[in-house]
Amino acid sequence: MDLFEREKVLLAPYAMHSAASRGRTYPESPHPYRAPFQRDRDRIVHSAAYRRLSAKTQVFTGEAGDYHRTRLTHTIEVASVARTLARALRLNEDLVEALALAHDLGHPPFGHAGESALDRCLAADGGFCHNRHALRIVTEIEQRYPDFPGLNLSLEVLEGQAARANKQAAAERPLLEAQVVDAADSVTYDTHDADDALELGLISIQELLDLPLWRQAEVRVRRRHHSLDDAQLRRAILHELIDCQVGGLLACAQARLTDFDIDSVDAARRAPPIVAPSDELAEQKLELERFLAERVYRHPRLLTMRTAAQQMLAEMFAGYLARTALLPDAYRARAAHVGWPRTVADYIAGMTDRYAQQEHARLFA
């Protein structure tokens, strides 16, 4: 059985089948034993931008310790949850994984703090958005193949990433595979940002247990386990939180697939969101996110690090703009097409936290 025939057997009619792919920007011959979206996934994993995620901030910088997530571990966790959802819904797992592995490729050093700094630096030149930058990486900046710029990913992967960058402007719903990745991203950061903050002592588990989502998870855990110490309770609740969110997403998605009579990719695009939490779960997640925004993301320790990181990147932006000869040859060549401000920002955005700190100290301190 060839790859396309196998998908006919395994995938639902509303899934994105590889045989229906619109191809790539630069046409390529089919691979003898890998389907198109599997090739996309492999190209992303082997890219420099993907490897650099291991040394980029998720929420907390590396100086805080080694337990908390990096952009890479977050990405792997998103891919894991997304594949679980995709398999249960009979969607294209290769496409889901490619979208998940690519979704944070565009993050600059120091995460959202770095993104805000570069956005201010480029205020007169279109701003900076990590989702749009991910598209630049996979279509222009990565140079790993002799036949084309970028990674030449399938148009479906590019479309899914573009939908993340332009959510308000989309004329139709994203593919269900893209909806799955967005949902998995939300499940992951809502759960694991709280876990990291607990580990660092920024918040207490009792504060979280005052929130309905955590309180209900604790009740279910204690029904099964009657004598857990604090560490065991925390881990059990975290597992329960992921399981209940994924289970809730699946139940809602399956009901909506039936209610809206979704029997094709086109029908899924025309329908309201399919892979989304129930109203009750959405409200509980929103309450948790408000808590995290106030108690974690705006914690004085984080704000101090955030301010220092933003000042560093602003100084680097101004410094490279004044001394463009410091940029690598490939980036100086890009300036003729996209201008110096965008070129400098693209170069800085590719740095890891550690490399940005080293280069700032070496060149601009």
Q: How many Å apart are CA 210 and CA 202, to the nearest integer?
A: 16
Long-range contact set of residues 207-215: C-beta below 8 Å, sequence gap at least 24: 207/291, 207/295, 208/291, 211/284, 211/287, 211/288, 211/291, 212/284, 212/287, 213/241, 213/281, 213/284, 213/285, 213/287, 213/288, 214/241, 214/288
From first to last of its 365 residues, the chain has per-residue pLDDT tens of 588 889 999 999 999 999 999 999 999 999 999 999 999 999 999 999 999 999 998 776 655 566 778 999 999 999 999 999 999 999 999 999 999 999 999 999 999 999 999 999 999 999 999 999 999 999 999 999 999 999 999 999 999 999 998 875 556 789 999 999 999 999 999 999 999 999 989 999 999 999 999 999 999 999 999 889 888 999 999 999 999 999 999 999 999 999 999 999 999 999 999 999 999 999 999 999 999 999 999 889 888 989 999 999 999 999 999 999 999 999 999 999 999 999 999 999 999 999 999 999 999 98
Amino acid at 238: L
Backbone phi, psi, residue 14, to 5°: -90, 0
Query: Can you give the pLDDT at residue 357?
Result: 95
Q: Which domains does the chain have, with CATH numbers?
A: 3-364 (1.10.3210.10)
CA neighbor of 180 nearest in space, from 265, 249, 247: 249
How many CB atoms are closer than 10 A to CB 322?
10
Three-state DSSP string of 68-132: CCEHHHHHHHHHHHHHHHHHHHCCCHHHHHHHHHHCCCCCCCCHHHHHHHHHHHCCCCCCCCHHH
Q: HSE of 218 in the Cβ direction (CA atoms, 13 Å)?
A: 17
Query: Can you give the pLDDT at residue 316?
Result: 98
Query: Can you give the pLDDT at residue 168?
Result: 54
Query: Can you give the pLDDT at residue 151?
Result: 98
Query: Can you give the pLDDT at residue 160?
Result: 96
Long-range contact set of residues 209-218: C-beta below 8 Å, sequence gap at least 24: 211/284, 211/287, 211/288, 211/291, 212/284, 212/287, 213/241, 213/281, 213/284, 213/285, 213/287, 213/288, 214/241, 214/288, 216/244, 216/284, 217/241, 217/244
Q: Tell me the torsion sign for CA atoms 22, 39, 53, 240.
A: positive
Q: How far is CA 132 from CA 166, 223, 319, 349, in A?
A: 8, 45, 24, 12
Query: Can you give the pLDDT at residue 176?
Result: 98
Amino acid at 73: T
What is the greatest pairwise CA distance in the chain? 66
Q: How many Å apart are CA 266 and CA 219, to the nearest integer?
A: 41
Backbone phi, psi, residue 320, to 5°: -65, -35
CA neighbor of 95 nearest in space, from 31, 7, 165: 7
C-beta separation of 138 from 46 below 8 A = no
Query: Can you give the pLDDT at residue 246?
Result: 98
Query: Can you give the pLDDT at residue 61?
Result: 63
Amino acid at 177: E
Express each pLDDT in 312-342 by its tens digit.
Answer: 999 999 999 999 999 999 999 999 999 999 9
Amino acid at 170: A
Query: Can you give the pLDDT at residue 62?
Result: 54
Packing angle, helices 230-259 and 212-224, rounded to 10: 110
C-beta separation of 62 from 309 below 8 A = no
Q: How many Å apart are CA 274 and CA 89, to the nearest integer?
A: 11
Q: How far is CA 307 from CA 47, 106, 111, 304, in A?
A: 30, 21, 12, 5
Tokens of 53: 């995620």
- Which residues lie closer than 8 Å to 173 by C-beta, 6 or more apart? 179, 268, 269, 270, 271, 272, 273, 274
Reported pTM: 0.95
Amino acid at 281: L
Q: How many Å apart are CA 86 and CA 217, to the nearest integer?
A: 24
Amino acid at 146: P
Amino acid at 313: L
Tokens of 7: 């998908």
